[in-house]
Structure 1
């Protein structure tokens, strides 16, 4: 609550009420409807004016005595005896509020009005010898102090509205004390209102109106800037979603237009094969290697397949199978699948060493029936397509340890 020496609104340590997170630290701020616009602390013995604003009872009385009976919010004339009324409902609501102390290692729960006294008596005595960073707006009434630059920067960014109010109040007080000075001339130059024809000098009321208009304009521009930032953020998120969808579509498109011919580059396979061969008799202790290719289509609206590699360390052979997968056009296709499938193990340097095997579908085989899950559990292919030793000794692996396998599907 304001003291008898205070002429303009000031702010000390603010009471905690609403929790906010900033740079990993936890602070508490007073809910705006419980805040006195004059002392910027919790309303004590709240009163309401005829123009609808709430203040501490003592704060508004002192303000009206020292500022010619005008409301500090809208400048409307107020009679302390007729236009100021106790707000008992809000007072009861404040009395019922409890808060938790936001200081580290202190989680004391107390009434809202008792917090200020608690901070002064319990915490500030331990902080008076510490070095604090002072808000750059201290000279105009912002008395916040901080222990690190991050807290100070966050304060300056988030309390622009409060600092503008302090600037407006300070400017108003200065203009009152120095009438006819260069400040008045600068204000007149900034005003967009046409000069009065009768040459009447600028009155105190018109000066206050100008300051209020400037303040409202700044607030409007701040709100517009915030809305534009939000809109830009939403557009950026939407653009990222579109780019991801496009990348996914392009990847799937390549699998659709391959016309049943798909080259599978099986990455990171050579080291796993060599580990099995080097294990010797202990190879049985190693886990099986199972790898699946991407799902590709026999035509744009055709059957969908994927290839599977299985390496059982105990058998020392590369197994190669084909599996049918659910496609989005399965309702329009004939089942079971009828056609032939060719596997080609491509040698990276000698085409004569490439191995090609062709197999035809059979209607009685479960692997060629319409899939009921994402992929048919039964596959069709070669349990011993090539020995692991031949893969290594005949150098079927690329320089990066990958293996090239081409799958060709022809539909009858």
Structure 2
């Protein structure tokens, strides 16, 4: 039975927009969300008695070797460490891009969900046979590293310049100790196409060292040139990725605006989010806003566990504020249909239709970005049945909402 939501969410459209804002891939977290040990997003955050936050696994591993806080060196024991659920909730509301954005993945998700997403990301690095992997450009001088794709190879070249210079220096030493150094250096230079050595029989022994030093100097110059070229390409790729993400966001907003009240919400990472809501009954998830028509009403969908029985999913609809509310008839009146789509068997789809009730606050003209009162079903479906009947496909639940004003 449809019912009005009787408790405020405290969410506004502004906060929803903040949660879905685009961050750079691999962007550094704010200092309050960064673990001082691993320098990454806090995972399973804990708070020490001296007031510092760490990943649980990081600080526990630290205390196996040390007995003091790594920040202020105060004495610290495992009994002085406590779960920091407040910070966990704050991090869960942040959004970051999938690290595989360099390969085309544009998914935005909570930093807490990145590791589980990478296991199923369709853009993750392919596992190639050893004989098909890319070799380092300095393989001829002793670098045996192999890589799955071009981005990994480029990162290796940028991060190991000193190593490659050392290998070049060692190769030079071997060449000078070898009686066939002239022939070997000539062959390398001809392959690189940047040094034209004198003929073998015309090379006086007195200028041999000068020629080898010229070769080494040319190799150094080539490395510097390649490094600069690599950085320029990184900048170009980063700019292109940002433009693509911006265009995709604009297209997404355009799609939501012109969906004519028929909205699809792909609720990703279902299992982890359900577990998080079991731990924190006040945690709620909101869809992006959508419109009933071009200049119609704006709505969004909310999903959380039923406050009466957390074995049930609650699905409610909220009215949102627009810049043309003065042109609409209030309170909102119409027909609302909510459906949980079965990915394989359409006859198993769960669908409920309800008529709005104008006397409820949920349908009055919103004075905030998001009307705090929602309308829908506090016990829409039993979680166990959804899982048993295979509604969850690829850890994703598909929700369809149709809104028809009358």
TM exceeding 0.5: no
Larger Rg: 1
TM-score (norm 1): 0.38
TM-score (norm 2): 0.38
